[in-house]
Amino acid sequence: MTELGNLTAVQLIDRYRKGELSPVDAARAALDRIGRTDGKVNAFVRVDADEALRQAEESAGRWRRGEPAGLLDGVPVSVKDLLLQRGGPTLRGSTTVDPHGSWDEDAPSVARLREHGAVFLGKTTTPEFGWKGVTDSPLHGATGNPYDPARTAGGSSGGSAAAVALGAGPVSLGTDGGGSVRIPGAFCGIFALKPTYGRVPLYPASTLGTLSHVGPMTRDAADAALVLDAIGVPDPRDGSALPAAPGSFRAGLDDGVRGLRVAYSPSLGGQVAVHPEVAAAVRRAVEKLAELGAYVEETDPDFSDPVEAFHTLWCSGMARRIQHLGKEQRAALDPGLREISGRGARLSALDYLAAVDARLELARRMGRFHTTYDLLVTPTLPITAFEAGVEAPKGSGHRRWTGWTPFTYPFNLTQQPAATVPCGVDGAGLPIGVQLVAARHADGLVLRAAQALYMSGATDIPRPELT
């Protein structure tokens, strides 16, 4: 069971194909991990073991007949509880969502996983409506870090990151409106990709508008490429969805980074104070890219912190999200969500349009930047995981989660692909992430660079002891 829980999706599929392993064994191993660890970290809000085993039995039958349903047939997966999954309520971490109803529709990404034969383990924790960069909510409480449950897993896809790190399925679907797959990915030591906006269709539409992306959270870049092949296709319910990619994201994955032009920005031009252990680990990862043949230059993108524009878009989106709630329901909300939504409700249309102008200018600057550089490399976060149950580290001087995530939210404004890759641990054994960013539509380049780091051993970190 322990060994099976450590296998990637690619490794599972290979063993299914060779007849060395059954999807039922993989599902049981994942469910066993959940049973042994979830009481310590709170990664899941719902687990349906009987349904997962039923799906695994069906998958096993298809493999025996030599007729797998798709790219992920028999792979155990989980889904963040912001994305619709038919057969159960999507509560979004909120007591204000009515659990009763038909709940008979899958989100586009979930539907694609189902079509490709994935085995659904359950839904993962999120802060209320995904509003912040840590995972705790009035409904489900706090999610702990697999490396130290007293610390945060990050957010808002904290449950998904913890699940993957603990071996409770090699794949989870998360959402990212300001870093929400990359933040917990970095804190929990896994790979997480925010694809180009529109690459993975989203339905229902987010009240955060074009800030919100859906992305794979996986053990490594190869698994993410496999998942993106499955979910990165158009869906008629999303008018912003991109056309299908011209080829597989697995094609060229192992081509390496030789000749790529890499800009290394350790602190966004001195705008961010980065913990020394984080800075050192990220620098080592950059040096590895140079050893592998990339042309690395230490330089910074030409922008100042766009946090005010981000706050305008974020707070107004959250105000819209709770607009329909009555007085009693609003009183039951996370106090921080209530506060930022109040700020958003006070903004004017002109405030909103000024923020849109700021994001367009930022996108223009980054577009020009990527005519010179193929990749931008930064720390994913300037710190490692802090105490669970708080929005910002105590003593940091920050009130809101955006104060300690300055490397992530700018690239939601620009809609670029960005990923976090593990690159070491600090003195307390907590994971550190390096962020890879490319021009819009260059998702394959991010995956290729990440794969090079995985193949080189630069991503090797200890597994969490909870497993």
Q: Which residues are catalytic?
A: 80, 156, 180
- Give the whole-angstrom CA distance, residue 21 versus residue 64: 11
- Give the whole-angstrom CA distance, residue 41 versus residue 44: 9
Say whether the peptide bond before residue 204 is cis (omega within 30 degrees of 0). yes
Q: Are strands 295-298 and 261-264 parallel, antiparallel or unpaired?
A: parallel
Paired tokens of 300: 């910074």
Q: DSSP secondary structure string, 116-135?
A: TTPEEEEEE--SGGG-SSS-
Q: Which amino acid is at 18?
A: K
**Helical H segments across 294-430, by residue range:** 307-321, 327-331, 335-345, 349-369, 410-413
Say whether the peptide bond before residue 22 is cis (omega within 30 degrees of 0). no
CB 239 within 8 A of CB 205: no
Quickly tell me which residue has 């993957």 as its tokens: 164
SS3 state at 182: helix
* Number of Cβ atoms within 10 Å of the Cβ of 350: 8
Q: Is the dihedral of CA 393, 397, 398, 403 positive or negative?
A: negative
Quickly tell me which residue has 């290394």 as its tokens: 264
Paired tokens of 412: 């939601």
Paired tokens of 241: 């969805």
- Give the whole-angstrom CA distance, residue 407 versus residue 88: 35
- Give the whole-angstrom CA distance, residue 86 versus residue 311: 33
Q: DSSP secondary structure string, 366-410?
A: HHHHTTT-SEEEEES-SS---BTT-SS-TTSS-SSGGGG-TTTTH
- Give the whole-angstrom CA distance, residue 41 versus residue 165: 11
Q: Which amino acid is at 460?
A: D
Q: Quick one: the chain helix, strand, coil %, rounded to 5?
A: 40, 15, 45
- Give the whole-angstrom CA distance, residue 248 versus residue 448: 12
Edge-to-edge strands, sheet with 191-194: 44-47, 119-124, 76-80, 171-176, 213-218, 191-194, 418-425, 431-438, 375-379, 261-264, 295-298
Paired tokens of 440: 């819009």
Paired tokens of 72: 């992920």
